[in-house]
Amino acid sequence: MIILKRLKDKYIYFIVIIGCILLSYYALDIFANGLYTPIIYSGYDDFYHEGLAKNFIENGDIWVNDNLGYPFQAEFYNFPMVSFTYLYICKLLSFFIKDFFLIINIYYILTFILTSITTLYVMRKIKFEDHWAALVALTYPFCQYHYLHNINHMTAISFYVVPLIIYLCYIIFIYDFRQWSIKQIKIWDVLKYVSVIFLFACTDIFYAFFGCFFLFIVIIYKLCYKNIHNAIAGIGIIISVVCMMVINYIPAVMMMSSNLNRHSPSSANTFSLPLIGLVSPYNRNHPLYFITNRILNVGISKNETFYSYLGIIGVIGFAIMILWLFNEKLFVDKREGATKFFSILNISAILLAVPLSLDFLFALFVSSSIRTYCRIGIFIILFSFIALTIFLENVSRNIKRIYQILLVIVLIFINLFDSSPRALALNHEEEQYASDRQFVQSIEETLEEEAAVYQLPYMDFPENYANDNRLLKGYLHSDKLKWSGGLVQNTEYVPYLEAISMITDYDNYLNILKYYGYQGVYCDTAILSNDRDEFSIARSFYNYLAENFSEQMIISEKGDLYFFDIRDVDKKTNTTETIQMAFFNGFYKENEIEDERFQTWRWMSNSGNISIVNTFFEDVDVKLSFKAVTTDEEYSTLVLSGTVNKEYQINNQIAEYDVQFTLQPGVNIIEVSSDTRPIDAPNDSRTLLLLFGDYSIEIK
């Protein structure tokens, strides 16, 4: 009988799960294209997050990927943009599902179901009746935020932990821990709360940060009322979450590059949450889209700051919370303190995330690494739906239960059509996906297992170009090949691939590729068609390959991807340039100085790299000669390291220097740095330290 009673008590979970599946089926229209076709296939952030998931599924690692960045390996310590919860679930799914993109699709669908379950659980814990709990459980997962982020941001859609985070805050806020005793604590409850704290620490780093912020607000509130016990409990949760996060991110903390380019504090303002974004739908077919359109037309950037549309019913709930700030007894709730709790957290979220507020201060004085404050919108959406539910529960007390249930059903469908229409969510690109998949499979059939493919063009990765993640396309579709793309910026071996990409003698280019073990060249002409100057060498090299290797060429069905088989190319040493120098990563272009004496000179910033490519394929003794000068009378130190280890004293008197050393076969990198003071150039935004020029290299 006890078991039957418990099953009867849990029937609402079954109803909500079935309802969520049916709503997802309609809203996502998944089966129209098949579960094996990616729900989103854009080549942007979806490829990045899928690449992390694929590596974790296959190798159990998120920090190092041996199949990317060949002949080295891709290290992701500098970009710990992960949610461990989604990686663990994808890994679990991989035991039952072998197709990678099917795993990603299933995970996306699961985020709706998991969010419904956790929301329902929390609503029932807060003591809402089942039908009112179901209202939030079947509206919250179907907000516009969920659809727009989709699998482009696997971390952002993993917000099924958010209701649990808010429930922890609610417990600290509502219950009086001074009346608790150790005897009242049950082992099962301890396990539940430890599990929630674990999920808290393993979720998206932004959600964990916002959760700690809300706990901090609750702690301050409790201290104001001299409730030390609750404040200590809140502090304990924050410490536990932070400790678990430190354990998760220890590899990144230990291995992160010291010279990593951090986000500027202004980026916190760029990705803040404008209040107008809460009432501005992103869907062009929405009746209220004219609001969004007018905002975008005045030059406001179009990014995820507008993803947090509350929907019609959410806007009403948001307005109710604002009214509670002035009169907390308005729409009296049977749960003592709930109205105050949600109104305080709501206004705190606004003060944190709106432009030029607490977010900017935190970025300016603490850390600019947390920048996407607009994602706090998913918390505000939850607050708004709960506030509306409290209001409806109050005004419908004298209405029959059946009519209350009918109202719930109507509101669920209003939200479905308002916030998540089909046209908003999907970008299947079925033909592109099929073309890419067949193309990569053809390469795998052509080359031997573990063969390496060089990818054109070389691009800094990630977050440097809008389409830099496209180079992960080959990796996502292959199981047996290694790829040059995906070498993460600011890591040790980036200069080597950069140096290769700047070789202008194309026979030498091929020689170097063969030397490092590449068996083919992959060209993405969709990227090469971009007129960026930095792609000019790659475009010319592609034309050279197309002219000379047309018989060894594979073309994708869409005609945007080309592969050239270079296994039969013999390394040559009789090319026109057997040694080639290039300057990058801190060196600026030549001919930027008006003084005729410095036409072959170039400015250097704090540091720079010189690459010297040796295609003799044997050690060669050389002498490098150059001149350097600063604008300061005082002497400073010029340091050459890497292939060469040498120091020179330089000042504003032009002097010539030379150094003899041995070049190894392939790419040699000289790192140049100086402690010279930057020059005062108010009209130049660059950091300029010294001039470097009249350089030459001579074989001894």
List, for residues 451-493, the tens digit of each pLDDT value: 999 998 888 777 666 567 888 999 999 988 999 988 887 777 8
Q: What is the pLDDT of residue 122?
A: 94
Q: How does DSSP assign 335-398, residue by residue?
A: STTHHHHHHHHHHHHHHHHSTTSHHHHHHHHT-SS---GGGGHHHHHHHHHHHHHHHHHHHTTT
The label of the residue with tokens 């197309």 reads: 546
Which residue type is seen at 154? M
Give the CATH number of domain 579-699; options: 3.30.70.240, 2.60.120.260, 3.40.50.720, 3.20.20.150: 2.60.120.260
Q: What is the mean pLDDT of residues 239-259?
A: 79
**What percent of the chain lies above the pLDDT cut of 70?**
90
What mean pLDDT is predicted for residues 377-390? 95
111, 157 contact by CB (below 8 A):
yes
pLDDT digit string (tens) for 12-49? 899 999 999 999 888 887 666 677 888 888 878 888 88
pLDDT at residue 204 tops 50 = yes
Residue 596 has a pLDDT of 67
pLDDT level of residue 114 (50, 70, 90 thresholds): very high
Mean pLDDT in residue range 162-181 = 87
Closest listed residue to residue 635, CA positions, set 667, 597, 674: 674
Give the model's confidence band at 181: pLDDT under 50 very low, under 70 low, under 90 confident, else very high.
low
Which one, of 393, 579, 601, lies nearest residue 503 by Cα? 579
Q: Is the pLDDT of residue 632 over 80?
A: yes
Q: What per-residue confidence (pLDDT) applies to 423?
A: 46
CA gap 425, 559 in Å, rounded: 27
Residue at 475: amino acid letter: Y
Please, what is the average pLDDT of the chain?
A: 85
What's the pLDDT at 90?
92
The answer, yes or no, to whether residue 4 has pLDDT greater than 80, is no
- The pLDDT tens digits for 524-583 are 988 888 777 778 888 899 999 988 887 878 999 998 899 999 988 775 544 445 678 888
Q: What integer pLDDT is reported at residue 466 of this predicted model?
A: 57
Comparing CA positions, the residue from 437, 268, 275 lying closest to residue 369 is: 268
Of 125, 147, 182, the closest CA to residue 23 belongs to 147
Are 57 and 94 within 8 A, CB to CB?
A: yes
Q: For the segment 645-664, what is each residue's pLDDT rounded down to a tens digit?
A: 999 999 888 888 989 999 88
CB–CB of 588/603 below 8 Å? yes
pLDDT interval class at 360 (50, 70, 90): confident
pLDDT for position 552: 78
Instruction: Please compute the mean of the pLDDT values over residues 326-350 and round it to a whole number.
Output: 82
358, two tokens = 């607490």
Kindly list the distances between the CA atom of residue 357 and the CA atoms of 266, 307, 313, in Å, as whole numbers in the listed order.
12, 20, 27
Nearest-angstrom CA–CA distance, 140 and 135: 8
- Omega of the bond prior to 462 within 30 degrees of 0, cis? yes
Q: What's the CA gap between 312 and 353, in Å, rounded?
A: 21
Most confident of 151-155, 349-353, 531-535: 349-353
What is the pLDDT confidence band of residue 321, given thresholds at 50, 70 and 90?
A: very high
List, for residues 305-318, the tens digit of each pLDDT value: 888 899 899 999 99
Instruction: Please report, for the chain, the start and end positions of each structural domain, with discontinuous segments joined by +.
Output: 2-32+80-255+273-425, 430-565, 579-699
H or E element in which residue 657 lies? strand 655-663
Is it the case that residue 691 has pLDDT exceeding 60? yes
Give the pLDDT mean for 579-599: 75
